[in-house]
């Protein structure tokens, strides 16, 4: 049996070839949406996302425009934050932040009797809610529910909300509420998701712009 590639770039290239071959046609997705889906499958080895990853109309284009202008990505976990490509962020003049470990968030959550995830989204909304930010939720359904409530009231006007919390309590409900929003969104419907999925969605869009810029350099 021939040995598979061992260099990182070759492994990724070969992985994408396998995904492309096994994914099959996705006529309901444009090229950019398909690229996001492939990046999620690459991060999870789970082809179920072919059916469960949903996109509102123009969601990827909205995010690409914001990233091109140097926006901020807000995550709900430091794990998702760690997974987002720092070279791509730097090259595009973008920033990624997470407020979960901020002591002000912990104090506010305790005072208000809410989760730290909710308090973190409230802080993010105050700072970036009207600055065309991208909100990437990969763990806490309470964070996603809070973002939905803020968007429904017009308190935030995001470039994109990524809804990919994982688990059993309020997870599907939070994604269904996101899917009903008029705000641009990408949702991993059902119970599956996670920080790696949220980061992969961000990276897919970052790489579209970052790789395009390098090819033109």
Concatenating the DSSP letter of every residue in 174-185 gives HHHHHHT-SS-E
Domain 53-216, CATH among 2.40.50.100, 2.60.120.620, 2.40.30.210, 3.40.50.10230: 3.40.50.10230
User: Residue 216's pLDDT is what?
Assistant: 40
- SS3 (DSSP) at 137: strand
> Which residue has tokens 């730290």?
116
CA gap 42, 53 in Å, rounded: 14
pLDDT in tens, the chain (217 residues): 456 667 777 898 999 999 999 999 999 999 999 999 999 999 999 999 999 999 999 999 999 999 999 999 999 999 999 999 999 999 999 999 999 999 999 999 999 999 999 999 999 999 999 999 999 999 999 999 999 999 999 999 999 999 999 999 999 999 999 999 999 999 999 999 999 999 999 999 999 998 865 544 3
CA gap 84, 73 in Å, rounded: 9
CA gap 209, 93 in Å, rounded: 12
User: Residue 2's pLDDT is what?
Assistant: 58
Neighbours of 172 (CB within 10 A): 15
Q: Where are the domains of the chain?
A: 53-216
pTM of the model: 0.93
Pull the structure tokens for residue 164. 């990919």
Catalytic residue positions, numbered? 42
User: Residue 217's pLDDT is what?
Assistant: 38
Pull the structure tokens for residue 30. 């444009």
**DSSP 8-state code for residue 136:** E
Residue 93, exposed/middle/buried by CB under 10 A (0-12, 13-18, 19+)? exposed
CA gap 13, 10 in Å, rounded: 5
On whether the CB atoms of residues 137 and 162 are closer than 8 A, the answer is yes
């Amino acid at each position: 049996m021939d040995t598979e590639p061992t260099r990182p770039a070759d492994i990724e290239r070969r992985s994408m070839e396998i995904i492309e071959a096994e994914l099959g046609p996705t006529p309901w997705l444009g090229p950019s949406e398909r690229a996001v889906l492939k990046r999620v499958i690459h991060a999870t080895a789970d082809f179920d996302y072919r059916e469960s990853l949903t996109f509102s109309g123009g969601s990827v284009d909205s995010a690409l425009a914001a990233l091109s202008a140097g926006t901020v990505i807000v995550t709900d976990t430091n794990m998702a934050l760690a997974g987002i490509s720092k070279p791509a962020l730097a090259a595009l003049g973008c920033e990624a932040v997470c407020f979960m470990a901020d002591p002000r968030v912990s104090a506010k959550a305790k005072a208000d009797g809410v989760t730290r995830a909710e308090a973190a989204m409230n802080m993010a909304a105050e700072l970036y809610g009207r600055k065309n930010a991208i909100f990437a939720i990969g763990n806490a359904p309470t964070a996603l529910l809070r973002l939905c409530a803020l968007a429904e009231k017009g308190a935030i006007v995001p470039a994109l909300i990524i809804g990919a919390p994982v688990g059993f309590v309020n997870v599907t409900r939070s994604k269904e509420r996101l899917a009903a929003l008029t705000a641009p969104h990408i949702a991993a419907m059902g119970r599956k998701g996670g920080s790696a999925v949220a980061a992969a969605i961000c990276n897919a869009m970052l790489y579209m712009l970052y790789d395009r810029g390098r090819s033109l350099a």
